Amino acid sequence: MVDLKVKIADLELKNPVMTASGTSGFAEELMDFYDVSQLGAVLLKGTTLKNRDGNEYPRMAETASGMLNAVGLQNKGIDYFIENIYPRIKDYDTPLIVNVNGSTVEEYIEVTEKVNELDKIPAIELNISCPNVKEGGMAFGVTCPGAEMVTKEVRKAYDKTLIVKLSPNVTDITDIAKAVEGQGADSVSLVNTFLGMAIDAEKRIPLLSTITGGLSGPAIKPIALRMVWQVYNAVKIPVIGIGGIMNATDAIEFMLAGATAIQVGTAIFKDPFAPVKIIEGINDYLKRHNIQRVSDLTGALQL
Partner 1 sequence: MHNKAVADFLVVENTQLNSTNFLIKLKGEKDLPKLYPGQFVNVDIKGLNDVFLRRPFSIFEVNYTENTLSLIVKILGKGSKKLTEIKKDETCNIVFPLGNRFTIPNKGEKILLIGGGSGVAPMLFLAKVCGLDANSVNLLLGARTKEDHIDATNYSKYGKLNFASEDGSLGEKGFVTQHSVFLNLKLYDRIYACGPDAMMKAIAKEAKAANVFCEVSLENLMACGFGVCLCCIEPTTDGNKTVCKNGPVFNINDLKW
In the complex, the residues that contact a second copy under the rule CB under 8 A are 63-66, 68, 142-143, 169-172, 194-199, 201, 203-206, 211-212, 215, 217-223, 225-226, 229, 244, 249, 252-253, 256-257, 285, 300-303
| Sequence-distant (≥ 6) Cβ neighbours of residue 35 within 8 angstroms | none
CB of 21 to ligand FMN, least distance (A): 4
Instruction: Report which of 31, 45, 44, 5 is spatially closest to residue 282, judged by C-alpha positions.
Output: 5
- Given candidates 13, 128, 239, 242, which one binds ligand FMN under the rule CB under 6 A? 242
Instruction: Report which of 178, 63, 72 is spatially closest to residue 132, judged by C-alpha positions.
Output: 72
| Sequence-distant (≥ 6) Cβ neighbours of residue 42 within 8 angstroms | 18, 19, 24, 27, 30, 36, 92, 94, 95, 96, 97
- For the range 202-207, what are the long-range contacts, defined as Cβ-Cβ under 8 Å and sequence gap of 24 or more? 207/58, 207/61, 207/68
* CB 246, CB 3: distance < 8 Å: no
Instruction: Return the ∠ at Cα 137 (arms to 134 and 141), rounded to 5°.
Output: 130
Q: Which option in a second copy, ligand FMN, partner 1, none does residue 199 bind, with CB closer than 5 to 8 A by kind?
A: a second copy
Environment class of 70 (CB within 10 Å of its CB; exposed 0-12, middle 13-18, buried 19+): buried
> Does 144 participate in catalysis according to the annotation?
no
Site for partner 1 in 139-168 (CB under 8 A): none
CB of 231 to ligand FMN, least distance (A): 14
Tell me how far apart the alpha carbons of residues 281 and 287 are, in angstroms, rounded to a whole number. 10
| Sequence-distant (≥ 6) Cβ neighbours of residue 58 within 8 angstroms | 70, 207, 208, 209
Q: Does 62 bind partner 1 (CB under 8 A)?
A: yes
CB of 223 to partner 1, least distance (A): 16
Q: Does 20 bind ligand FMN (CB under 6 A)?
A: yes
Site for ligand FMN in 108-127 (CB under 6 A): 127
Q: Which option in a second copy, partner 1, ligand FMN, none does residue 178 bind, with CB closer than 5 to 8 A by kind?
A: none
- Given candidates 51, 84, 233, 292, which one binds partner 1 under the rule CB under 8 A? 51
Give me the residues paired with residue 83 across strands.
none
Q: Which option in ligand FMN, partner 1, a second copy, none does residue 245 bind, with CB closer than 5 to 8 A by kind?
A: ligand FMN
If DSSP codes are grouped into helix, strand and coil, which group holds residue 106? helix
Q: Which option in partner 1, ligand FMN, a second copy, none does residue 242 bind, with CB closer than 5 to 8 A by kind?
A: ligand FMN
The window from 33-41, 88-96, 122-130, 168-176 that contacts partner 1 (CB under 8 A) reads 33-41
The residues binding partner 1 (CB under 8 A) are: 22-25, 29-35, 45, 51, 53-54, 57-67, 69, 71, 74, 76, 217-218, 266, 268-273
* Catalytic site positions: 130
